[in-house]
A and B are shown apart, each in its own frame.
Chain A
Amino acid sequence: MNLDALYREVIMAHHQHPAGRDPLPEVSASAHGYNPSCGDEFEVNIHVEDGRIAGIQVDGHGCAISQAAGSMLSQVAVGLKVELLEDLIDAFRSMLKTGEPDSTLPGDLPVLSGVSQFPVRIKCASLPMTTTLEAIAKL
């Protein structure tokens, strides 16, 4: 295990300058996610038009890993069909288990594969994803 695998520059950049924070003009569904063991917290709002993600806001606070994961997700979600976003989240979560960078994942998401070496942190990277799935389930 080494810290460089976890705290990659790309991840730190997302942490310091997170994307996807701006409120949406229209919201189709929202969900709130909380990790009671560490205090990571997310509010995810999505706007869906014609079965596609038209807008996403991933707002939250917590550790660098959870915040970076939320930021990365917000950058790739817009324009995707809702089912495709669900598949993408599934693939992302498998990557966290196997640790193999999944180059089919869009944007910066493959960079988070290093989290798999830190089992207690997998929940951090997953939280914005599971919160997004919860919002989708409410559509």
Chain B
Amino acid sequence: MTNAATRTRLEWDSDKIRALFPTLQRRVAEYPLVYLDCAATSLRPESVITEGCNFCRHHDGNPHRGMHALSYEATEVYKSSRQAVADWLQAPDSSSVVITRNATAAINLVAGGLRGKLGSGDNIVLTHMEHHANLIPWQQLAKQSGAELRFVPLTEDGQLQTDMLPSLVDDRTRVVAVTHVSNVLGTINPIALFAKAARRVGAFSLVDSAQAVGHLPVSFAELDVDFMVFSAHKCYGPAGLGFLIGKKAALEQLSPAEYGGDMIEYVSYEEATWAEIPQRFEAGTANSQAVAAFPESIRFIESLGTAAIRAHEKEITAYALKRISAFEGMRILGPEDAHLRGGLVSFYDPYVPPHDMSTILDEHGVAVRAGHHCAQPLHRLLGIPASTRASFGVYSTTDDVDALIQGITEARKLFTRKY
């Protein structure tokens, strides 16, 4: 493995990196694909695809369930995958890594696991920039328990008003849940501050790291949160796989929210006892080839180094911010400074509705996201119905941004003409 910290920017070889991604070889509407939708799902390098296929070709057993060779091997694959995630993100140990379907399922697992444990008078502190995944599970928990939802508001430039934390987080706060990097504004949030505020009052802290893992250096230990969630498909891994990392003491306080095979110990017709953590939270068979493939995603990311990836994405983001904001009247969502943001830029063009923008860009081979990006309340708060988002990854280049700018220019031509 390469030492991330010692890699210099000079070693960043875009052509070499891009050659690892088979999808980048394809064309869209006769143009080479310009993929600027990494925040929705990242493309996968060949090595990750191959690793998933290899599991199907050679092992293919159901883990934990059989005594035969294939099942044993599958069980080992799960073990080593869990260990790889724990080592990579500095989780306490492999038993603090719960395998889920995606980040959304991981948050539901925590919110569902707290059912019956909150009451009226309690409160849950969220922020105004949460993805629906880190909002609706808590809305449901609040409805079910009578707890109050509280929100950390935004500053003018799309950061969190962390000075509000002392007044929002009080001794009836049971959960503080916050996104690591906003999937709309791009803002990188000071997670340790939220974790500290929660710890002070004995509340659970959860960080939604879906847009952070694979893009920035992330350490569970350093953030010192109770729970962290992310999805493999947003960090060069397979779809259908996510993770919940939890401190042992925090996981122990969750009730299982899904029941069935694999999550039990002793079962009678009337009763059951639960398996140890993490299996307790893993009812049913998971996506085994995805579990098998994900360590290869980690190897790929670490071959570049998260610090170098961060530096690269920051450079592309700064360039994109400069080019997009040069359009007359264009509104950039989130902080203006690339240092404060992850690798994405959402914008609102007063002349071209986002959906039309995306269609026109698609006709130029440029893939962006248009809509509310699973953050309807945030868009309402910003006073816009939807936005267009360009998001970056290891394969993104300034040429990609130039293609985006070219597309926006064409879209503006079409929409600013008088009909």
Contact = CB atoms under 8 A, between A and B. Distances in A.
A125 B415 CA distance: 18
Given A38-B354, A39-B379, A63-B353, A16 B371 contact: no
14 contacts: A2-B363, A6-B359, A7-B356, A9-B419, A38-B355, A38-B370, A39-B355, A39-B385, A62-B385, A62-B386, A63-B353, A65-B355, A121-B355, A121-B359
B419 A12 contact: yes
A39 B29 contact: no
Nearest to B371: A38
Contacts of B59: none
Interface residues on B, range: 20 to 34
B300 to A, nearest CB: 31
B214 to A, nearest CB: 25
Contacts, number: 58
A13 B372 CA distance: 26
B354 A39 contact: yes
B39 to A, nearest CB: 16
A1 B29 contact: yes
A118 B359 contact: yes
B16 interface: no
Contacts of A62: 353, 355, 385-386
Interface string A1-39: 111001101001101110000000000000000001111
B201 interface: no
Interface of A: 1-3, 6-7, 9, 12-13, 15-17, 36-41, 61-65, 118, 120-121, 124
B330 interface: no
B385 A16 contact: no
Nearest to B379: A39
Nearest to A123: B355
Interface in B353-401: 353-356, 359-360, 363, 370-372, 376, 379, 385-386
Contacts of A120: 359
B414 interface: yes
B28 to A, nearest CB: 10
Contacts of A6: 359
B417 interface: yes
A12 B412 CA distance: 13
Nearest to A9: B419
Which 10 pairs, one residue from A and one from B, show the smallest C-beta to C-beta distance? A39-B386, A63-B355, A13-B419, A39-B385, A63-B353, A12-B419, A38-B355, A38-B371, A63-B356, A64-B356
B68 interface: no
B408 to A, nearest CB: 14
Contacts of B370: 38
Given A38-B372, A39-B371, A64-B356, 16 more contacts: A1-B29, A3-B360, A3-B414, A7-B356, A7-B414, A9-B419, A12-B419, A36-B376, A38-B355, A38-B370, A39-B355, A39-B385, A62-B353, A62-B355, A63-B353, A63-B355
